[in-house]
């Protein structure tokens, strides 16, 4: 992990909230905290080497793989959002139960899978074993925290809050995807532009997934200015054959989406909503 990444993830919010004396204290301990983190940080894992010692991973359900690689998409995971070496086992989202059912028939196909919001790479590693013949393209604002190596995983930087960053990614990667999973910032704008810009890169019959769909509807930090409509509201309008308008969607992308989606399903997991959008 880079020095700047460590600051943005673990300390930026603390500096913003701190008074003058606390800022001085944070300024003094921050470098030492970073050094300690680097000394005790996890080593990157080569997934090809892991296969040699544990080929049974290819036979596991996606939920078991999420738990094995410590992704919050499964039933339980060790809290990976803390600097502490002692990790608490907490409940995950349980999105895996939907994934295991929906993707069972294409598990062994040769697919291109795009994941937005890779974090430390646990879900990408799990996907690489579940979809054993597929290529995983995993993007994040901080790709330097990705903890895995694999010939079938490409990790890259993308800012899903920026139309420019998303469009640059599309232009520089002339690829079409069978599955796109959006699990990045969960901010209102980011969810909307990610879907309507990247839906064009989805192959026919492909699936676009939005995890934590309801964050902007239920969490102030994901919708600071209480903007409307949220992506959940937009998708609900489409399901009910009602018109919608958003300053984050241009007419071309809106019409393309409406002409080319097959169906939209919004499901409730353990704590949050997840949307599945099939392309025609």
> Which pLDDT belongs to residue 245?
97
Residues 173 and 36 in one domain: no
Counting the structural domains of the chain, the total is 2
> Are 90 and 148 within one domain?
yes
Residue where the block lists tokens 């993707």: 103
CATH number at residue 221: 3.40.50.150
Q: Indicate the average pLDDT of the chain.
A: 92
Residues 6+ apart with CB under 8 A from 247: none
Q: Is residue 36 domain-shared with residue 72, that is, in the same domain?
A: no
Residue pLDDT, tens place only, 159-198: 999 999 999 999 999 899 999 999 999 999 999 999 999 9
- Of 33-42, 79-88, 133-142, 265-274, least confident by mean pLDDT is 79-88
Domain with 17 in it = 3-40
Within this chain, do residues 79 and 31 fall inside the same structural domain, yes or no? no
Average pLDDT on 219-247 reads 97
pLDDT at 236: 98
Look at 16-20, 52-56, 104-108, 152-156 and tell me which has the smallest mean pLDDT.
16-20
Q: Which pLDDT belongs to residue 109?
A: 98
User: Residue 153: which H helix or E strand, with range?
Assistant: strand 153-157
- Give CA separation, 105 vs 66, 100, 108, 130, 229, in Å: 19, 9, 8, 12, 35
Alpha carbon distance, N-terminus to C-terminus of the chain? 40
Q: Is 223 helix (H, G, I), strand (E, B) or coil?
A: coil
Torsion of CA 222, 228, 230, 234, to 10 degrees: -170
Q: How confident is residue 84, by pLDDT bands cut at 50, 70 and 90?
A: low
> Which of the two residues, 61 and 19, has the higher pLDDT score?
61
pLDDT band for position 216 (50/70/90)? very high
Residues 177 and 116 both lie in one domain: yes
Q: Which two tokens stand for residue 46?
A: 């080569």
More confident residue, 204 or 18: 204
> Does residue 221 share a domain with residue 132?
yes
Q: Say whether both 168 and 187 belong to one domain.
A: yes
pLDDT of residue 37: 74
Please indicate, yes or no, whether residues 124 and 186 belong to a single structural domain of this protein: yes
Looking at residue 83, its pLDDT comes to 56
Is 70 exceeded by the pLDDT of residue 82? no
Same domain, 36 and 147: no
Q: Which of 190, 76, 67 is nearest to 139 (CA)?
A: 190
**Shared-domain flag, residues 74 and 30:** no
Please give the pLDDT value at position 40.
75
Pairing of strands 261-268, 202-211: unpaired
- For 85-123, how does the pLDDT look when each residue is reduced to its tens digit (9 = 90+)? 567 888 989 999 999 999 999 999 999 999 999 999 999
Residues 20 and 119 in one domain: no
Q: Residues 116, 177: one domain?
A: yes
> Which distant-in-sequence residues (6+ apart) come within 8 Å of 237 by Cβ?
229, 243, 244
């Amino acid at each position: 992990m880079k020095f700047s990444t460590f600051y943005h993830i673990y300390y930026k919010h603390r500096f913003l909230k701190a008074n003058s004396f606390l800022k001085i204290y944070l300024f003094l301990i921050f470098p030492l905290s970073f050094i300690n983190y680097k000394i005790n940080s996890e080593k990157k894992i080569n997934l090809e080497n892991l296969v040699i010692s544990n080929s049974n991973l290819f036979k596991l359900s996606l939920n078991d793989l999420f738990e094995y690689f410590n992704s919050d998409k499964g039933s339980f995971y060790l809290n990976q959002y803390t600097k502490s070496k002692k990790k608490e086992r907490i409940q995950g989202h349980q999105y895996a139960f939907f994934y295991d059912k929906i993707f069972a028939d294409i598990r062994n196909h040769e697919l291109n899978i795009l994941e937005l919001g890779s974090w430390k790479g646990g879900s990408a590693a799990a996907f690489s074993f579940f979809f054993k013949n597929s290529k995983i393209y995993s993007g994040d604002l901080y790709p330097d925290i990705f903890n895995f190596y694999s010939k079938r995983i490409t990790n890259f930087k993308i800012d899903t809050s920026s139309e420019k960053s998303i469009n640059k990614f599309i232009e520089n990667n002339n690829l079409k995807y069978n599955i796109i999973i959006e699990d990045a910032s969960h901010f209102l704008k980011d969810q909307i532009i990610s879907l309507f810009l990247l839906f064009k890169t989805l192959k026919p019959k492909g699936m676009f997934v939005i995890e934590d769909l309801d964050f902007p509807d239920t969490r102030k930090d994901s919708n600071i200015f209480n903007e409307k409509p949220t992506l959940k509201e937009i998708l609900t309008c489409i399901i009910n054959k009602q018109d919608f308008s958003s300053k984050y969607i241009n007419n071309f992308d809106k019409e393309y989406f409406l002409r080319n989606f097959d169906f939209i399903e919004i499901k409730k997991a353990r704590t949050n909503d997840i949307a599945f959008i099939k392309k025609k």
